[in-house]
Structure 1
């Protein structure tokens, strides 16, 4: 007789097999094969996306495919399995009556019960529950297969969309290497147009012509690694290693006796039942119930598993780097070359954030502020919206600075970098705000200012840890270009 635990195990095994088959089908698509064979970066991104999808779908197949009617039928099956032979004879008809109009097994079950009433077969309960189990397993597998097909179609559409975006942006930089521009589109599911490509190319070219901006961004990005605080040390990295583990399927030694249906390891005493015709049916009952006494074998097998890898003390410890919070002045006084510099600087920091797996949020401010999550699932779309925004209005630093300070007081923004890009033609901040900034500095948060004007307020900029001035004259830019 099959227990509820065996039913659950059977469902999990069927589910795993279906998932593996679906993953194999997806990876065998010609578009994906061509993409992954020609680009190691794309291959890594595709495999990472499929692993994430597989984990999500596995959880849904386990939970979402079982309808309420099917749950009730499984509960009835479990009740039938646990009944004694006498109890099953008394209650089976009433239990099956509850399946009428709800299960395809109802008619077959009723016919089996009616046939057994005249014969009273001792093994009928085991036979009946086995047939019921087969029906339940087929129903669950069918529901899982239908759900899996829908998820697989959705996955293929997402991957094709990402591949289309990847190919469209492949030549954004002159050398065509996506790593130089950043891996932002690996996170993007939005479709890009030729105008989007032209916009990104324009800022890549701008950063190339203004290398000083790129140097400032690189210097700023390295500061998160220089913090001396043991609480920011990353956990020891996990890596795959070959280890030896005990395994029941490796027949090295006999470690005991247990109940199973493994005829290869059966204890000789069990075979005695086959010598007597009257006891033979008892042997087959024990076999069906997996209750034959068999030798339990155990040995050591080598397998790959993730283990903690502690770094030697002589090596530099990895530091947990916090997010970038970039505040960009979008006032009318920033239009023109300062606007291009501000967007290019934010774009350069965004590349660093994606490369180092750090969050990056841009807030543009004038009389109000707007947030863009540049490293989220829709990061590419957010980045394009930010880069295409036109600067206008007045300058009001206080609201965005107060909001940023509130964010940096949370655990998410430990060891974070706040970068304000502005012409700093604004009044000095109140002493309360400066006191909050000083408190956050003591918690290893850093405050940076990128000044794009010769007329910035020195008292306003004095509250920042680091101030970079970048305001070359028009003549200087012309000389540099020609």
Structure 2
């Protein structure tokens, strides 16, 4: 059984499907998936998740944290056992002489570790005691395959034991959160958006002291609506300044005035194998994604073309989709001394809102904090570091050189960073950088990387020509936060 198919993306899809529809599989041979199924089939949990979006978010984040913890532990165990897996490959390359001399010790070594996991030492001993049988390539490869299968079985057994060790604590926390948090929100008349933003920074660990401390920062958005406007621009959400969307199907622009002869109406979901999108065909042909394809087929969730001929009354209806694939969000935050006080709090509130959008859109989000030195943080994966960052006070001078270099390295490190949105948050009391770095910034803009700025304060800004747009907050000291 290939374990690579059970990566974090697989579990995210399972959670997404459940919180949206209540659908889940009935069983699985993989321990973590099987446990997740058992929790999702708990009638009390299902009712709460499907009838309350706050409970849905609590369930999603709590289970996702548990999944990530177990996957990290599994990754650690696999790394520890890498030498044994390498040994399996080396054994396949043994010479005939080495096989004759070493097969008995090898069988004993494997049997000592894996007899209880189905490795049949007696069968192979009987085979290899026959003259020349250990030279049989097919038999030798079968022995290594059985060794690998027993190894995988042991890893699965270890994984199940670790899940069982943690499950009671998880379930107590989950049921407590599903009961206590909605009650606290109703009792204190807390706005849902404020909850989602504040909760998103807590990594699934609820306590009212931290929640209220974070919510206090979130509430700054009430005084400065520009914060939400900038965050939505980074998230490419249509607002009163125009839509960043067009009418499209998966990768293709629909032009209704030219589509009269085409039977394709749009995209839907189902299990019609004759109408599959190319992406689903690719999943079907991929050994590692085959199980996901079968699961989507059985639950009628395959993406398929929708044809006019399938419906009684054809309609020219198209979904509004993002005009271009969303890349990551990169926030470059000025932490020099001139940002201390209110500008710093405004910036922190913006970061929390952007994190909430990144979670909702499942986009990567990076913080590059800079003064003279830089401090990069993957804020979706390192929320504890982000909270720690909030506790520090801005200080020092400002130099954009290292920040620009770090940003460019990130954007050019992978094709996944195409169409990135980069946001500078600063008072823009920053000297212009070298012409070489400015030219690189312009090249990235031409390649569809967007550069936005939030200027906190009213200083002259030499950087404005090099940005798609700079928003401004001209704060006054009379406002409270």
Please report the TM-score for the alignment, with normalisation by the length of structure 1: 0.57
Change (3 A) 1:465 1:418: same
5 Å-filtered alignment, 1:102-141, equals: 102=112
Change (3 A) 1:172 1:227: same
Residue 437, structure 1, aligned to residue 441, structure 2: yes
Q: CA deviation at 1:447?
A: 0.9
Rounded to whole Å, the distance in 1 between the matches of 2:439 and 2:247 is 22
Checking the alignment, whether the CA contact within 8 Å between 1:326 and 1:421 is kept in structure 2 is yes
5 Å-filtered alignment, 1:395-414, equals: 395-410=398-413, 411-414=415-418
Q: CA deviation at 1:316?
A: 3.3
Checking the alignment, whether the CA contact within 8 Å between 1:324 and 1:361 is kept in structure 2 is yes
Residue 241, structure 1, aligned to residue 253, structure 2: no
Rounded to whole Å, the distance in 2 between the matches of 1:408 and 1:17 is 36
Aligned with 1:182 (options 191, 196, 213): 196
Q: CA deviation at 1:372?
A: 2.3
Rounded to whole Å, the distance in 1 between the matches of 2:364 and 2:230 is 19
Rounded to whole Å, the distance in 2 between the matches of 1:140 and 1:427 is 57
Residue 205, structure 1, aligned to residue 219, structure 2: yes
Unaligned residue ranges in structure 1 (runs of 5+):
1-13, 76-93, 114-136, 246-301
User: Secondary structure in 2 aligned to 1:327?
Assistant: strand
Q: CA deviation at 1:304?
A: 3.8
Rounded to whole Å, the distance in 2 between the matches of 1:41 and 1:144 is 29
Residue 364, structure 1, aligned to residue 382, structure 2: no
User: Secondary structure in 2 aligned to 1:440?
Assistant: helix
**1:152 matched to which residue of 2?**
164
Residue 468, structure 1, aligned to residue 463, structure 2: no
Change (3 A) 1:309 1:369: same
User: Secondary structure in 2 aligned to 1:450?
Assistant: strand
User: Secondary structure in 1 aligned to 2:424?
Assistant: strand
User: Secondary structure in 2 aligned to 1:362?
Assistant: strand
Checking the alignment, whether the CA contact within 8 Å between 1:408 and 1:416 is kept in structure 2 is yes
Q: Deviations over 1:199-219 (max 9, x none)?
A: 211112211232232233224
**Of 145-154 and 383-392, the range deviating more from structure 2:** 145-154
Change (3 A) 1:195 1:461: farther
Change (3 A) 1:441 1:40: same
Residue 307, structure 1, aligned to residue 302, structure 2: yes
**1:40 matched to which residue of 2?**
56
Aligned with 1:425 (options 426, 429, 432): 429
Q: Deviations over 1:132-180 (max 9, x none)?
A: xxxxx99998985565232333355456556767778765795446555
Rounded to whole Å, the distance in 2 between the matches of 1:428 and 1:61 is 49
**2:356 matched to which residue of 1?**
351
**1:252 matched to which residue of 2?**
none
Q: Deviations over 1:245-293 (max 9, x none)?
A: 9xxxxxxxxxxxxxxxxxxxxxxxxxxxxxxxxxxxxxxxxxxxxxxxx
Aligned with 1:226 (options 244, 259, 281): 244
Checking the alignment, whether the CA contact within 8 Å between 1:422 and 1:450 is kept in structure 2 is yes
User: Secondary structure in 2 aligned to 1:462?
Assistant: helix
Rounded to whole Å, the distance in 2 between the matches of 1:238 and 1:184 is 35
Q: CA deviation at 1:442?
A: 0.8
Q: CA deviation at 1:50?
A: 8.2
Q: Deviations over 1:45-78 (max 9, x none)?
A: 567778889999999999999x98xx99xx9xxx
Unaligned residue ranges in structure 2 (runs of 5+):
1-26, 92-102, 127-148, 254-265, 275-296, 307-315
Residue 416, structure 1, aligned to residue 420, structure 2: yes
Change (3 A) 1:330 1:17: closer
Q: Deviations over 1:191-239 (max 9, x none)?
A: 465542232111122112322322332244326972789999499x997
- The root-mean-square deviation of aligned C-alpha atoms, in Å, is 5.5
Please report the TM-score for the alignment, with normalisation by the length of structure 2: 0.57
Q: Deviations over 1:289-319 (max 9, x none)?
A: xxxxxxxxxxxxx954442234788443433
**1:326 matched to which residue of 2?**
331
Q: CA deviation at 1:342?
A: 1.6
Change (3 A) 1:159 1:208: farther
**1:10 matched to which residue of 2?**
none
Pick the structure with greater CA Rg: 1
Q: CA deviation at 1:30?
A: 9.8
Checking the alignment, whether the CA contact within 8 Å between 1:323 and 1:358 is kept in structure 2 is yes
Checking the alignment, whether the CA contact within 8 Å between 1:181 and 1:351 is kept in structure 2 is no
Change (3 A) 1:166 1:367: farther
**2:11 matched to which residue of 1?**
none
Residue 16, structure 1, aligned to residue 29, structure 2: yes
Checking the alignment, whether the CA contact within 8 Å between 1:362 and 1:371 is kept in structure 2 is yes
Checking the alignment, whether the CA contact within 8 Å between 1:372 and 1:386 is kept in structure 2 is no
User: Secondary structure in 2 aligned to 1:474?
Assistant: coil
**1:383 matched to which residue of 2?**
386
Change (3 A) 1:307 1:183: farther
Rounded to whole Å, the distance in 1 between the matches of 2:403 and 2:65 is 35
Change (3 A) 1:147 1:429: closer
